[in-house]
Amino acid sequence: MPLLKRRTAFDDPNWFFELKYDGFRAVARVDRGRTQLISRNGNTFGSFQKLQQSIGTSLRKDSAVLDCEIVCLDRKGKSRFNDLLFRRGDPCFFAFDLLFVNEQDLRTAQLCDRKHELRRLLARFAPYTSDRETSTWYKIRNPRYSQMVGREKLFERERHNEPVTGWHRCTLAC
């Protein structure tokens, strides 16, 4: 799609706004485990073999054409074009549109519908399990969380004998 330029930013509820990553624009053609990354000029990227394999592995049961950006991120998550250009980091793949999926042409579909299908395609939800050995949920505490100090003593008490204020109403509020 052609890119139009505007002099000033705007805010409108009828528009999607997304973070712009500074990298190489590409189209990813995925066909049941095999991926080809193509530049906007129609050239095949030859330097992203690991990335192509990773995408193919993630989408091994599907065929799709995705509009994406290939970027390198720093430790704070900001894209660094020079790191990508000079191969100083691991490239990442950010898909932002879905043009085809499993032989269905989505190019004439509304953007919100394409975004929904893209999310469905890329979603990898882990199953809900009560087994601690196979759980894929993690709790990582922020060491700088100031309200953590002293909480252990509060929860050592039995809730029915000394309930926390509003504890029993919490369930209804949720």
- Scan for tokens 């080809």, then name that residue: 36
| Phi-psi category of residue 87: left, alpha or beta, with phi > 0 → left and psi -120 to 50 → alpha | left
| Phi-psi category of residue 51: left, alpha or beta, with phi > 0 → left and psi -120 to 50 → alpha | alpha
pTM over 0.95: no
Q: What is the pLDDT of residues 91-147, one digit of tens each?
A: 999 999 999 999 999 999 999 999 999 999 988 675 555 566 655 556 566 666 555
Task: Give the confidence band of 8 by pLDDT, cuts at 50, 70, 90.
Answer: confident
- What whole-number distance in Å separates Cα of residue 47 and Cα of residue 26? 13
Is 165's pLDDT higher than 50? no
Query: Which option is the CATH number for 24-122: 3.40.50.920, 3.40.50.620, 1.10.443.10, 3.30.470.30?
Result: 3.30.470.30
Torsion of Cα atoms, 104 then 108 then 112 then 113, to 10° = -30
- Scan for tokens 């030859």, then name that residue: 46
- What whole-number distance in Å separates Cα of residue 51 and Cα of residue 48? 5
Q: What is the pLDDT of residues 48-76, one digit of tens each?
A: 999 999 999 988 889 999 999 999 998 88
- What whole-number distance in Å separates Cα of residue 143 and Cα of residue 91? 30
Segment 12-29 shows an average pLDDT of 88
- What whole-number distance in Å separates Cα of residue 86 and Cα of residue 37? 18
Per-residue pLDDT, 116: 95
- What whole-number distance in Å separates Cα of residue 71 and Cα of residue 80? 7
| Phi-psi category of residue 167: left, alpha or beta, with phi > 0 → left and psi -120 to 50 → alpha | alpha
Any idea where the domains of the chain sit in the sequence?
Answer: 24-122
Q: Which residue has the higher pLDDT, 159 or 110?
A: 110
